[in-house]
Homo-oligomer: A and B are copies of this chain.
Amino acid sequence: MPHNKIILMTPGPTLVDYDILLAMAQPTINHGSPEFEELHKTVISKLKKVFETEGEVILIPGSGTSAMDLALRSVVRGKSKVLVLKAGYFADYLAKGARLLGADVVVEEAPLGMGFSPEALEDALKKHGDVDVIALQHVDTSTSVANPISDLAKVAREHGSRIIVDCVASAGGMRSNLDGWGIDVCFTGSQKALGTPPGLGIVAFSREFSRELEAQNKSLYFDLDMLRKEMESTKNYYVTPAVNLVYGLDRALDLILAEGLEKRFERHRFMASLVRSALMEMGVELVAKEGYRADTVTAAYLPRGVEWSSLYKEMRKRGIEIAGGLGELKGKIFRIGHMGQVGYNELISTIAALERSFNTLGYEVPLGKALTKMQNILASRSE
Contact = CB atoms under 8 A, between A and B. Distances in A.
Interface of A: 3-4, 6, 8, 10, 12-16, 21-22, 24-33, 35, 60-66, 68-69, 72, 93, 96-97, 100, 189, 191, 197-201, 218-222, 237-245, 248, 316, 321, 323, 326
Contacts of A93: 220
A61 B69 contact: no
A13 B31 contact: yes
Contacts of A66: 61-62, 66, 221, 239
Contacts of A199: 61, 199-200, 242-245
Nearest to A245: B199
Given A65-B221, A240-B191, A25 B24 contact: yes
Contacts of A198: 28, 31, 61, 240-244
Given A66-B239, A221-B66, A239-B65, A25 B21 contact: yes
The 6 closest A-B pairs by CB, nearest first: A199-B242, A97-B220, A63-B239, A197-B244, A69-B221, A25-B25
Most buried by B among A13, A60, A220, A242: A220
A96 B10 contact: no
6 contacts: A21-B24, A24-B24, A25-B25, A29-B321, A189-B240, A244-B248
Contact of A30 (B8, B24, B60, B100): B8
A129 to B, nearest CB: 25
B244 A24 contact: yes
Contact of A8 (B3, B12, B27): B27
A134 to B, nearest CB: 18
A240 B200 CA distance: 10
B27 A16 contact: yes
Nearest to A64: B240
B4 A68 contact: no
B16 A69 contact: no
B12 A29 contact: no
A162 to B, nearest CB: 18
Contacts of A321: 29-30, 33
Q: Which of A29, A200, A326 neighbours the largest number of chain B CB atoms within 10 Å of its CB?
A: A29
Given A14-B28, A24-B25, A237-B326, 12 more contacts: A13-B243, A28-B191, A28-B198, A33-B316, A60-B63, A63-B240, A64-B240, A66-B66, A68-B220, A198-B241, A198-B244, A242-B245
A200 B239 CA distance: 12
Nearest to A322: B30
A13 B240 CA distance: 8
A13 B28 contact: yes
A220 B10 contact: no
Given A3-B35, A24-B25, A62-B61, A96 B220 contact: yes
Contacts of A61: 61-63, 66, 198-199, 201, 242
A10 B26 contact: no
Contacts of A31: 13, 198
Nearest to A244: B197
B62 A62 contact: yes
Contacts of A30: 8, 10, 13, 321, 323
A241 B64 CA distance: 10
Contacts of A218: 100
